Amino acid sequence: MDILNQLGTGFMSALTIQNLIACFAGVFVGTVVGVLPGIGPVGATALLLPFSFGLDTSTSLILLSGIFYGSMYGGSTTSILLNVPGESASMVTAIDGHEMAKKGRAGAALAVSAIGSFIAGTVGVVLLMIFAPPLGNFALSFGPQEYLSIAVLGMLLLSNLTGGSFLVSLGMFILGMIITTIGIDPISGINRLSFDILDLSKGIEMLPVIMGLFGMAEVFSVAVEPYKVGELIKVKFRDLYPTKKELKRSVAPILRGTAIGFPIGLIPGPAAVVSSLVSYKMEKNFSKHKEEFGHGAIEGVAGPESANNAAASGTMIPLLALGIPFAPATAVLLSGFMLQGVAPGPTFISGHADLFWLIVASMYIGNVMLLILNLPLVGVFASLTKVRPEILMPIVVAVMMIGTYSVNNSTFDLLILMIFGVIGYILKIVNISPAPIIVGFVLGNVFEKGLRQSLLVAGGDFASLFMRPIAGSMYLVCLAVLIWVIVGQVKKKYKVSISED
Amino acid sequence: MLSIKKAVCGLLAVALMATPLLGGCQSQPKSQSGGGANSTAADSKTTENSDYPKKTITLINQFAAGGSSDVLGRALASVVNKYIGATVMVENRPGGSGTIGTDYVLKSKPDGYTLLITSSGNFTTTPIVQGAPYDPVKDVKHIIGIESLPMAIVVNADSQWKTLEDLVNYCKENPGKLKAGAGVPGGTNHMAWQRFTKTAGIKTNEIPFGGGTSEATTSLLGNHIDASVLHPTEISEQLKGGKLRMLAIFSDEKLVDYPDVPTAKECGYDVVVQVNKGISGPAGLPDDIVQKIHDAFKQTMEDPEFIKIVQKTGDYNYLKYETGDELKTDLDKMRDDFSPLLKELGLEKKK
C-alpha cells in the first residue's frame, strides 16, 4: 500500500500542467532524436542541459528523463523504413524490420515496435518502482570477474547472430574486437594502434561504426541501384496496422524482450545494443518460423524493440539507486540531475522520495504519451517511403552526419562514419552480415578489461575466475550451451547418415 | 484518422511553443558593443581589440558530457555572458584523456573565441604519458584559475579501516594485498596513489580503472576493490548515504564539507595532489583580451546566480580564484613533481 500511496503522490505532482508539458516535450524530443539517424539521447540531452537551468528541479528532471526513454521509441522508424538505424540499439530491428517494409508491412512493423516499446517501457517502470533499491545493490555484486563471465557468455551466444558461415562470422567478430583496442588502453594507460594520430587515441566510437556499417552502407547501395518506382507505394491505408496474426506472433517476443532487456540494463555498458542483440538471438531460437528470420519475421522487430526499452528502464536503477551512470546517456542525465542540485545516490530514493516517485509517475505518463504520439505517426512515417530516394537519401546522409558530429564535435568521427560506410557496402556486396562486428565491438572491451582486471585482482590466478557464484553460474550456462550445440550437431549428422543409409 | 493526425500536430505545436516558455528564466546576453564608442587611440595596447567579443565564444570541454568539467563549464557559461557581453557556448571535444580538446584549443587562432576549460592533468601528466602534440608550457596562455578539486583516499564504509593509520598498518603487515583502484595509469588519481604509497612506504596491488571514476566507485561499493583515490565531489551522495568512508584528504587544509576527515599531512604523510580547473587559451592571446576574459570570469565567480548553481552542484566550497600566472605556477610545479615519478614507473612516452 505504501508504494501505491507514494505513487499516488507522485502522480499528483506529475499531473500539473507544467510537468505534463515538460513530460510531453521530453518524450517528443526523445522521439524526434530517436527517429533522426545518428542523433541520439546523449547529444540531445547534452544540448538541452543549458536550457534546463532555467526550469525548476522536478520539471527539468521529468524533461531530461523523457528524452532518455523517449529516444528508444523512435529509433526503429528509419531502421524499418530505410534500413538506416535511428540510434545504435535499432540496428537489429533493421534486419527483419526493413524486410517487412519491402513486403509492404512497414506499418505493421512500426506499429508493433511502438506497442512493444510501450509494453516494455511500462513493465520496466513497474519493475523499476518495485525493485530499484534491492536491484541497485545487486548491480554492485558485479565485479571484473562477473563482467568477464557475461562477456564470455555473450560472445558464445551472439557470435553467430545472423547465421551464415561460422568462420566468416568469427572473422567479423574478431575484427570488431580489434577495433575496440584502438586508443588509450584502460589498463596500462598507453596508446595502442593509434600510430601517433591524435584522433585515434580517443578510440573508435560505437555510433559512427554502427551508422556507417548499417546506415551509410544502405545509402550507398541505394545510390548504386537504378531507381525503381517504389514498390511500397501501393500499400493501402488499412494495411498500415498489424493483422491479428501478426499481433499474436508478437506477444511472446514482446514479453521475452522485456524480461531479458530489463536485467541487461543493470549491467554497465551499452545495454540498449546488447539487449536488442540478445533478444533477436533468442527470438530466432524460439521462433516456429525460423526460416523467416532475415526475411521479415515480425518477432525480429517485436523482441529487440521491447528489449531496448526495458533496458532503458533498467539502466535508470543504477543511476537512481547508486548514483552511478552505466551508459553515456545516463551519464549526461546524471549531470542534468547534478545541475539541479539533486545528486542521485544511495540516499536518493529515501531522501528525495517525492522526486523519485514523481519521476516514476512521469515515466508512466510519458510511456502513454509515447504510444499516443507514435501510433498515429506510423501512417505519416510510412509515407516517407513514397519520397523518391534521390531526395530522401541525401537528407538522411546529412542528418546522420550532423548526428555523428554532434556527439564529440569531431570531424574525425565523420571520417570513421564514411570508412565504415564503405566497409559495410563491400560486405553487402559479398553478402556478409556486419552484425558480428558490432557484437565483437560491444563485448570486446568488456571482455578485455574484465579479464585483465580479474587477473590483477587475483594476482594472476586463473582458477579464481570461476570461483565466484555469479561468474561460476555464467560459465556453467556457457558449458550447457556448448554441450547443447555439440549434441545438436551430432544428432543432425546422425540423422543425415541414417537417411543416407 | 485525419482528426488524430490533426490532434497530434496540435499537440506538437503546443509542445514547441511551450518550450521557450519553460526556459523563460534564462537570461539573454546583453550586448556591450555600444562600449566601442570609447575606443579612442589613447592606449594602443588596450584599444587594439576593444571590440572583442564580436561573436559567440566557445568553451571547449575536453572530457565527455556529464563529467565535472562539463558541469562547471556549463555553470560558468550560463552566467559569464552577462560580463563578457557575448554568448558563451560549451562544446565537448572528448578523447585521449583530454588531449584532443586541449590540442584543439591550443592550435586554434589566438583571438579569444576558443577557450579551454583547463584541467590540470592535461598540462601535467598526459603530455608526458600520451606524448601530446602540444607543449604544455609554450603553447598555452592560462587566464584564470577557478576551482581546485581535492582528492581523498576512500574505502567502503563497512571495511575494517577506520583511519589512514589502520590502512597503512594493514598494508605493512600484508604487503601487496590491498586492492587499490588507482585510476588509469598516469592519471592524476594514479599519481596521488603512487605519491601516497611511496611516502608511506607501503606496497599495494593496483587495479587500473580506466572507465572513469564511476567504475572505481561501483567496484568500491561492491567490495571488489579495497581502496581508491576519488574526488569527494563525485561521491558526495555515497558519503552522505554512509556507503563510503574517506580516510584522508590530499590537501593542505581540511575540507569545509568534511571537517572530521584529516588531511594526509596531519596523518604524517606529506602528500598534496589536486586537480585545478580554470580557463586557458592558445599562446599569443593579446593581453587586453586575456584581461577581459579574466575579469569576466572573476566577476562570474562572485555572481549570486553562479554561486547558486555551484552550491547545487557541490562545487561551491572548492572554488579557488587564482590569476593566470598563479595557475601556471601551480601546474608547472605539479608537472615537475610528477615527471620523475612517471619516468620511474616507465610511463613516460618514448619519443
CATH code for position B251: 3.40.190.10
C-alpha distances in Å from residue A492, one per residue of A159, A272, A406, A489: 21, 35, 51, 5
**Do both B169 and B266 map to the same domain?**
yes
- What pLDDT band is residue B16 in, cutting at 50, 70 and 90? very low
pLDDT at position B248 over 60: yes
Q: Tens of pLDDT along A396-414?
A: 999 999 888 888 888 999 9
- What pLDDT band is residue A467 in, cutting at 50, 70 and 90? confident
Q: What pLDDT, on the 0 to 100 scale, is given for residue B212?
A: 62
pLDDT at position A1 over 70: no
Q: Tens of pLDDT along A15-29?
A: 999 999 999 999 999
Q: Tens of pLDDT along A198-223?
A: 889 888 988 899 999 999 999 998 88
CB pair distance less than 8 Å for B211 and A338: no
pLDDT at position A172 over 50: yes
**Do both B89 and B182 map to the same domain?**
no
Does B20 reside within a domain?
no
**Do both B173 and B266 map to the same domain?**
yes
- What pLDDT band is residue B26 in, cutting at 50, 70 and 90? very low
Q: What is the domain partition of chain A in residue ranges?
A: 2-467
> Which stretch of DSSP H or E encloses residue A472?
helix A469-500
**Do both B187 and B258 map to the same domain?**
yes
Q: What pLDDT, on the 0 to 100 scale, is given for residue A228?
A: 58
Residue A386 CA to residue B76 CA, distance in Å, equals 47
pLDDT at position B38 over 50: no
Q: Cis before residue B53, ω within 30 degrees of 0?
A: yes
CB pair distance less than 8 Å for B14 and A203: no
Give the global pTM.
0.84
Q: What pLDDT, on the 0 to 100 scale, is given for residue A501?
A: 58
Q: What pLDDT, on the 0 to 100 scale, is given for residue B37?
A: 38
**Do both B334 and B256 map to the same domain?**
no
Q: What is the DSSP string of B216-279?
A: HHHHHHTTSSSEEEE-GGGGHHHHHTTSEEEEEE-SSS--SS-TTSPBTTTTT-----EEEEEE
Which is higher by pLDDT, B34 or B157?
B157
**Do both B143 and B285 map to the same domain?**
yes
> In the numeric block, which cell numbers belong to residue A102?
519491402
Q: State which residue of chain A sits closest to B19, comparing Cα positions.
A: A25
**What residues make up the domain containing B253?**
152-272
> In the numeric block, which cell numbers belong to residue A494?
546422425
Cα–chain center distance at B221: 24
Window 162-221 of B: residues touching A by CB (8 A cutoff) are 179, 184-187, 190, 205-211, 214-215, 217-219, 221
Q: What pLDDT, on the 0 to 100 scale, is given for residue B142?
A: 97
- What pLDDT band is residue B283 in, cutting at 50, 70 and 90? very high
Residue B300 CA to residue A334 CA, distance in Å, equals 24
pLDDT at position A4 over 70: yes
Amino acid at site A265 = G
**Do both B176 and B87 map to the same domain?**
no
CA dihedral A346, A351, A357, A362 (to 10 degrees): -80
What value does the mean pLDDT take over residues B67-84?
Answer: 91
* Cβ–Cβ under 8 Å, residues A421 and A217: yes
Does B72 reside within a domain?
yes
**Do both B261 and B283 map to the same domain?**
no
Cell 528532471, located at residue: A61
**Do both B183 and B252 map to the same domain?**
yes
What is the DSSP secondary structure assignment for residue B26, as one 8-state letter?
S
Does B306 reside within a domain?
yes
Q: What pLDDT, on the 0 to 100 scale, is given for residue A154?
A: 87
Residues of B whose CB is below 8 A from A52 = 23
Which is higher by pLDDT, A386 or A202?
A202
Does B33 reside within a domain?
no
Q: How many folded domains does chain B comprise?
A: 2
Last residue of a domain, one of B272, B292, B307: B272
Does B39 reside within a domain?
no
C-alpha distances in Å from residue A186, one per residue of A52, A179, A446, A458, B216: 33, 14, 11, 18, 12
- What pLDDT band is residue A46 in, cutting at 50, 70 and 90? confident
Calculate how close chain B gets to A49, using CA atoms only, in Å.
8
Residue A82 CA to residue A68 CA, distance in Å, equals 23
Does B80 reside within a domain?
yes
Residues of A whose CB is below 8 A from B221 = 140, 322
Q: What pLDDT, on the 0 to 100 scale, is given for residue A348?
A: 84
C-alpha distances in Å from residue B59, one per residue of A410, B53, B79: 15, 14, 13
CB pair distance less than 8 Å for A453 and B207: yes
Mean pLDDT, chain A, integer: 86
pLDDT at position B15 over 60: no
CB pair distance less than 8 Å for B96 and A198: yes
Q: What pLDDT, on the 0 to 100 scale, is given for residue A464?
A: 87
Q: What percent of chain B has pLDDT over 90?
A: 63
Who's near A259: CB < 8 A, 6+ residues apart? Answer: A310
CB pair distance less than 8 Å for B65 and A335: yes
Mean pLDDT, chain B, integer: 85
Does B22 reside within a domain?
no
- What pLDDT band is residue A382 in, cutting at 50, 70 and 90? confident
Last residue of a domain, one of B240, B272, B304: B272
Q: What pLDDT, on the 0 to 100 scale, is given for residue A239?
A: 67
pLDDT at position B20 over 60: no
Q: What pLDDT, on the 0 to 100 scale, is given for residue B338?
A: 92
Task: Note the ipTM here.
Answer: 0.81
pLDDT at position B31 over 50: no
**Do both B114 and B260 map to the same domain?**
no
- What pLDDT band is residue B318 in, cutting at 50, 70 and 90? very high
Residues of A whose CB is below 8 A from B190 = 189
A338: closest CA among B216, B68, B316? B68
pLDDT at position A436 over 60: yes
**Do both B159 and B234 map to the same domain?**
yes
Q: Tens of pLDDT along A86-130?
A: 888 888 999 899 888 888 888 899 999 999 999 999 999 999 988
What value does the mean pLDDT take over residues B102-108?
Answer: 95
Window 303-342 of B: residues touching A by CB (8 A cutoff) are 309, 311-314
Q: What percent of chain A has pLDDT over 70?
A: 96
- Is the backbone of residue A64 left (phi > 0), alpha (psi -120 to 50) or beta? alpha
Calculate how close chain A gets to B312, using CA atoms only, in Å.
4
B250 C-beta neighbours (distance < 10 Å), count: 22
Q: Tens of pLDDT along A338-354?
A: 878 787 887 788 888 88
Last residue of a domain, one of B249, B272, B295: B272
A97: closest CA among A301, A316, A304? A301
For A385, phi then psi, to 5°, come to: -70, -10
Which is higher by pLDDT, A242 or A50?
A242
Q: Measured between CB atoms, does B9 come within 8 Å of chain A?
A: no
> In the numeric block, which cell numbers belong to residue A281?
538471438
Window 26-45 of B: residues touching A by CB (8 A cutoff) are 26
For B202, phi then psi, to 5°, come to: -120, 160
Who's near B346: CB < 8 A, 6+ residues apart? Answer: none
Does B37 reside within a domain?
no
**Do both B161 and B257 map to the same domain?**
yes
Amino acid at site A456 = L
- Is the backbone of residue A278 left (phi > 0), alpha (psi -120 to 50) or beta? alpha
pLDDT at position A7 over 60: yes
Q: What pLDDT, on the 0 to 100 scale, is given for residue B131?
A: 83
* Cβ–Cβ under 8 Å, residues A345 and B240: yes
What value does the mean pLDDT take over residues B293-304?
Answer: 96
